[in-house]
Amino acid sequence: MTEKAAPSPGSGEDQAQLWNGPAGRAWVEGQVMMDQMLHPFQERLVAAVAAQQGERVLDVGCGTGAVTLAIARQQRPGGAVTGIDISAPMLAAAEARRNAAGLAARFLLADAENHDFPPAGFDMLVSRFGVMFFGQPVAAFANLRRATRPGGALHFFSWRGGTENSFMTLAERVAGPLLPALPPRQPGAPGQFAFADHDYVQEILRQSGWDRIDIAPAAAECRLPADQLPTYLTRFGPLGRVMERLEPAWQQDVLARLLDAFAPFIQAGEVRFTAACWQVTAKA
């Protein structure tokens, strides 16, 4: 297996640029909505940490900190949780939440792909959709394995494909013909669906030296308030990056068509959809 090319600077998809720019801004402003939507995965990761009795935990691609802080909240004395992220604005939001809650989590602004972690410094690594953005995934997961003590656990969620996650791709399918500037997703490139292929993920973990790899389908019902749907559609993902640059009238026109297309997902004032994911576990 060969490494996939890192996103080229200037392509609009350079990951550090993206998460310190428009994607980071959208996640900070939409923090409450995104945490509500992805809450089922937070619960599963917190339960996994409790089951492993992991004392020194690293949350990879922790973003605005929901999972890191939920782990901090349930940790026993002597435990420590660190969140690492490449996005300065998202980490600033995480730190503000930690300070407001008086929790003891540590946040590290660094690239998890090549950060010089203390060897074997963690008992457990977790991630909620934060590990699909590495330009060199084998090198990144080898770096994360060295940061984990022998026998320590890896537990993360990643998205399966766009076909299984029609909620995540419907907006592009509806708006694509109207917006020539909307870049098509590059299959396998760093991004939301980079880990869609089971065998690809298996190979990355095998080559980076992880053991007892298990990659199981995981589904969860996700919800967000229906009145937040316009924000979700106009701010997040590849479409969000194009929508924010449109003339207001054009934006309204595209949004109206999107809302029509998303009507089947709305029930009782909520948007509801099933997230099709992989739950991935392994041992260092």
Min dist CB 168 to ligand SAM, Å, is 11
Q: Which residues bind ligand SAM (CB under 6 A)?
A: 15, 19, 34, 38, 61-64, 66-67, 84-87, 90, 111-113, 128-130, 133-134
Given the complex with ligand SAM, which of 33 and 174 has the nearer CB atom? 33
Min dist CB 249 to ligand SAM, Å, is 31
Given the complex with ligand SAM, which of 267 and 274 has the nearer CB atom? 274
Min dist CB 226 to ligand SAM, Å, is 21
Given the complex with ligand SAM, which of 59 and 123 has the nearer CB atom? 59
* Contact by Cβ (8 Å): 42, 35: yes
Given the complex with ligand SAM, which of 147 and 254 has the nearer CB atom? 147
Given the complex with ligand SAM, which of 93 and 254 has the nearer CB atom? 93
Min dist CB 112 to ligand SAM, Å, is 4
